[in-house]
């Protein structure tokens, strides 16, 4: 009898522990979501409000246009067509998004991070030099990709893609968030609004003030 009671208590504790281990907070789908007690003034949820299922149609899960190259006639020779929840409303709560990446010869997807998603990339045409840098001690993992090659980028790590060929490159990327977000390092550091105090950047990068002033004007 006692052994039976002990067994039941043990199983109950294991079940409770299991439920606690499997519980977790939802990942943020935007930079921040400040709590508010008065819901009359609430304007965002962690994601988007849901459409009445009775009003949902196939078009809510459809996007057309990834066959069309993006404009790459810019300074960096790169552009991206992102299909996230803002472009395809049916992605809400599904935790996925997709992107087409277009590169001119020697075009660069500037070093950046996705704060809410890991990324997997496949090269459709051309050759890319890709890589990511870990958190301290900042180890670089890099690879040259050709047509059909695949590379994965862990969530939140700084990474890049660079067309090292003389022809255009097309690649596609899948991300495990409906809104992966993007932080482009140079734009963020030198192009924030309002600008970061130049003395901070001078100290951080060991630049001359004239260099910092020049860089802030570029972004």
**DSSP-assigned letter for residue 29:** S
DSSP 3-state assignment of 42? coil
Residue 47 is predicted with a pLDDT of 77
Residue 17 is predicted with a pLDDT of 46
Give the C-alpha separation, 124 to 89, whole Å. Answer: 26
Output 87 or 12, whichever has higher pLDDT: 87
Residue 29 is predicted with a pLDDT of 72
Give residue for tokens 């734009």: 187
What string of DSSP letters covers 46-105?
Answer: SB-PPPPGGG--GGGG----TTSPPP--STTSEEEEEE-TTT-GGGTTT--EEEEEEE-T
The CA dihedral of 188, 189, 193, 197, to the nearest 10 degrees, is 170
Does position 90 have pLDDT exceeding 50, yes or no? yes
Residue 30 binned pLDDT confidence (cut-offs 50, 70, 90): confident
Peptide bond into 107 cis (omega under 30): no
- 64, β-bridge pairs: none
Residue 140 is predicted with a pLDDT of 98
CA angle 168, 78, 28 (to 5 degrees): 130
CA angle 126, 97, 67 (to 5 degrees): 45
Output 79 or 54, whichever has higher pLDDT: 79
Neighbours of 188 (CB within 10 A): 14
Residue 51 is predicted with a pLDDT of 84
Give the C-alpha separation, 143 to 128, whole Å. Answer: 8
Residue 52 is predicted with a pLDDT of 86
Whether the predicted model's global pTM rises above the 0.95 cut = no
Least confident among 86-95, 121-130, 157-166? 86-95
Residue 58 is predicted with a pLDDT of 93
Residue 75 is predicted with a pLDDT of 95
On average, the pLDDT of the chain sits at 88
Residue 105 is predicted with a pLDDT of 98
- Crossing angle, helix 209-218 and helix 198-205, to 10 degrees? 110
CB 74 within 8 A of CB 132: no
Give the C-alpha separation, 99 to 85, whole Å. Answer: 12
């Amino acid at each position: 009898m006692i052994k039976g009671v002990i067994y039941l208590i043990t199983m109950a504790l294991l079940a409770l522990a299991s439920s606690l281990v499997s519980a977790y907070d939802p990942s943020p789908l935007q930079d921040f979501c400040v709590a508010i007690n008065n819901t009359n003034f609430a304007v965002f949820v962690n994601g988007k409000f849901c459409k009445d299922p009775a009003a949902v149609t196939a078009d809510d899960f459809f996007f057309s246009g990834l066959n069309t190259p993006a404009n790459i006639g810019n300074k960096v020779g790169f552009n991206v067509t992102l299909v996230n929840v803002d472009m395809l409303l049916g992605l809400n709560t599904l935790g996925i998004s997709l992107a087409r990446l277009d590169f001119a010869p020697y075009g660069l997807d500037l070093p950046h991070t996705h704060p809410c998603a890991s990324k997997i990339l496949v090269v459709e045409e051309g050759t890319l030099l890709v890589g990511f840098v870990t958190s301290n001690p900042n180890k670089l993992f890099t690879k040259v990709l050709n047509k059909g090659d695949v590379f994965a980028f862990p969530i939140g790590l700084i990474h890049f893609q660079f067309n090292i060929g003389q022809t255009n490159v097309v690649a596609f990327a899948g991300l495990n968030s409906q809104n992966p977000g993007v932080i482009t390092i140079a734009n963020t550091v030198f192009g924030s609004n309002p600008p970061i105090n130049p003395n901070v950047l001078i100290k951080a990068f060991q630049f001359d003030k004239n260099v910092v002033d020049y860089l802030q004007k570029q972004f």
